[in-house]
Amino acid sequence: MVRTALSQTILEVKNITKRFGGVEALRGVSFSVKKGEVVGLLGDNGAGKSTLVRCISGIHSPDEGEILIAGKAVKLDSPMQARNAGIETVFQDLAIIPEFDVVQNLYLNREIRSANPILRWFGWLDSKAMAKRSQKSLNRLNSRIPSLTEKISNLSGGQRQAVAIARAVSWGAEIVIMDEPTAALGVEQSAQVNELIRLISSQGVAVVLISHNMQHVIDTCDRAVVLYQGRCNADVAIGDVDKNTLVALITGAADMTLAQPA
């Protein structure tokens, strides 16, 4: 896949270190992501991927280092602060409620209250406004979801991912982190998710993609950042590597830390 990312660096991680007691989960990790770029975050179990994502998502505070958004250092002490900074994370469980419909999930904990002050005081919601905005968000993704009133439990895996992605980008997110978005999906549904990733990146949204599927990374990403034992083992353009090279970097059989792109 060939796509030119925008020139502006939207996310920069500098020398992030995180310790849990005597265990150093992250040891001076640095990388950056430009607007519209899709960067694969790779590594074996225990390499530090989850810890790094939790630092960027505001769940953990780094012990050392800093995170910059559009060149400005930010302190992310909670997921809400990360969202306010333009970072949305789509975790593997999607954090959606199966018995709620599409609109209810898109506006979960962000409901629009009625404009009528009396109804607003009683806690009434503006269902029409939420439905209208939901449809606009799904149209932005060329979504194939049949109805806004459909329960999430009745949707396919790919459609559920579409709802989760739509929720992420609906709130002005400039950076979307996706944790194994195709892990439980079939070939056709995985292709739909890949297309969604390409679409939001073409709209200037930066995507950090965690995946163990090397073909998915090759097909979808512009670059790969590989962690090994808490360190950055490589930062490479996808066009410069193949699946075997990525596996070697993940397992520590190869090291390309001295050949990082500018």
Whether residue 68 contacts residue 11, with contact meaning beta carbons closer than 8 Å, is answered with yes
Question: Secondary structure of the chain: what % helix, strand, coil (to 5)?
Answer: 35, 25, 40
How high is the pLDDT of residue 90?
Answer: 85
Phi-psi region of 4 (alpha: psi -120 to 50; beta: other; left: phi over 0): beta
Tell me the mean pLDDT in the region 75-103.
87
Q: Determine the 3-state secondary structure of 162 from DSSP.
A: helix
C-alpha distances in Å from residue 105, one per residue of 97, 149, 197: 7, 11, 20
**H/E element holding 247?**
helix 243-251
What is the reported pLDDT for 225?
96
pLDDT for the residue numbered 180: 84
Instruction: Report whether pLDDT(188) > 90.
Output: no
pLDDT at 211 over 80: yes
Q: Which long-range contacts (CB under 8 A, 24 or more apart) does 27-30 make?
A: 27/229, 27/230, 27/231, 28/64, 28/65, 28/231, 28/232, 29/65, 29/227, 29/230, 29/231, 29/232, 30/65, 30/232
Question: Confidence band (pLDDT; 50, 70, 90) for 257?
Answer: low
Q: What per-residue confidence (pLDDT) applies to 185?
A: 74
CA angle 190, 191, 193 (to 5 degrees): 65
Q: Which of 56, 50, 58 is nearest to 33 (CA)?
A: 56
H or E segment to which residue 105 belongs: helix 102-106
CATH 3.40.50.300 fits domain 9-96+173-259: yes
- Tally of CB atoms within 10 A around 86: 19
- Report d(CA 25, CA 51) in Å as an integer: 7
Contacts of residue 164, defined as CB under 8 A and 6 or more positions apart, other chains included, come to 90, 94, 95, 96
- Domain segments of the chain: what residues? 9-96+173-259
Which pLDDT score, from 0 to 100, does residue 258 have? 44
Q: Over the chain, what is the mean pLDDT? A: 86
pLDDT score of 196? 85
